[in-house]
Amino acid sequence: VLDPFCGTGTLLMEAALLGMRCIGVEIDGDAARGARSNLKWLGAEMEEVLDFEIIKGDARQLPEIIHDRVDAIATEPHLGPVYVEPPTREQVQQTIRELTELYNEFLKVAPLVLGDSGRIAMTLPVINSEDGQSHRIDITKLLRGTELMVYPLLPKDVLRPVLKKPKALALKPERQTLPERKRGQVVQREVIVLGRG
């Protein structure tokens, strides 16, 4: 599994515990060193030899960094500024524009290192502005110029037995994104899964 925005390696540590070969790319040198250190610590703590590689680099230049195809990409990319208070609508719109551009540039090159049947699971921000509105990345703009499509989450055929149960479960099949939120967070998250069409 490849995490092209690996930060200090939290997602890679979880993948390593599942026995996966892990590759992390991180543009910030200090964070990349932290990821390497964290995975070494985890291996020692678990008395396991973990199969990982951490590379200082830019996710928008993956083909220059990763020379073998990977089975999957899983990442929580940069989600924008850390807001203590909800920002103005204008601040949020600027952040969304910048993040959309960053993510789109990454998604244009990601298929070049992803195996043919591979998937990309990534977190996208949902930013709450001071006027109480939630702002999301526009999926159409996110995927513009890429060869990727959204894979629905919670497919109906898998959920059919569950959906016969009481409506109180409130499961919504065939979703484009899956929310991950905590009450009161300014920046919330949603997960999306992408692959070739």
Alpha carbons 172 and 183: distance in angstroms, whole number:
20
Of 188, 149, 157, 189, the C-alpha closest to 173 is 157
This prediction has a pTM of 0.89
SS3 at position 191: strand
Q: In the chain, what are the domain boundaries?
A: 58-196
Catalogue the E-assigned strands of the chain. Answer: 2-3, 22-26, 52-56, 70-75, 114-128, 134-136, 148-150, 177-180, 187-196
Q: Which fold has domain 58-196?
A: Rossmann fold (3.40.50)
Alpha carbons 126 and 189: distance in angstroms, whole number:
5
Alpha carbons 103 and 164: distance in angstroms, whole number:
38
Contact 129, 89 (CB under 8 A): yes
For residue 39, what pLDDT is reported? 98
For residue 192, what pLDDT is reported? 96
Tens digits of pLDDT across the chain (197 residues): 999 999 999 999 999 999 999 999 999 999 999 999 999 999 999 999 999 999 999 999 999 999 999 999 999 999 999 998 999 999 999 999 999 999 999 999 999 999 999 999 999 999 999 999 999 999 999 999 999 999 988 777 766 665 565 555 566 767 778 778 777 789 999 999 999 97
